[in-house]
């Protein structure tokens, strides 16, 4: 909401539009720079929303056998996704996976490992 207000992107647009006509750029945001900034904020946020259902399903399934490890994995994924979103919003796609944003993948690998272990245990028992 803060990005939508500061960049003046009206509803119902999910992203700021940028159209080039005869070499001149037009946008529905306050200006071209605001349009790019708003789109970066939206894309970082959207990435988390797109991946959350899968992370949650992995945490639920893996958590049936190992709830503490699954909680740790989901916590790492959530913290990493938040940092990823902030970095994407501030610097664009080039810096989205720097530093602590990699915790997102640590959490994901942990959750995938738990699910692999659960599948293996179900097949061998």
List, in order of start, the domains of the chain with CATH numbers.
2-124 (1.20.120.550)
122 token code pair: 């179900």
Could you tell me which residues are beta bridge partners of residue 18?
27
First to last CA, the chain: 50
1-59: pLDDT as tens digits: 788 888 777 777 788 888 999 989 888 888 888 888 888 999 889 989 999 999 999 99
64-73: pLDDT as tens digits: 999 999 999 9
Q: How far is CA 12 from the centre of its chain?
A: 21
Collapsed DSSP state (helix, strand, coil) of residue 26: strand
């Amino acid at each position: 909401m803060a990005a939508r207000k500061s960049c003046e992107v009206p509803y119902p647009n999910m992203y700021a539009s940028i159209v080039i006509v005869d070499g001149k750029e037009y946008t529905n945001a306050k200006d071209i720079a605001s349009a790019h900034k708003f789109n970066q904020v939206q894309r970082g946020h959207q990435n988390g929303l797109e991946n959350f259902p899968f992370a949650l399903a992995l945490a639920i399934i893996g958590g049936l056998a190992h709830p503490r490890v699954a909680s740790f994995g989901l916590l790492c994924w959530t913290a990493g996704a938040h940092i990823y979103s902030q970095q994407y919003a501030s610097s664009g796609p080039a810096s989205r996976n720097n530093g602590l944003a990699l915790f997102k993948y640590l959490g994901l690998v942990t959750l995938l490992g738990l699910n692999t272990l659960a599948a293996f245990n179900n097949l061998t028992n």
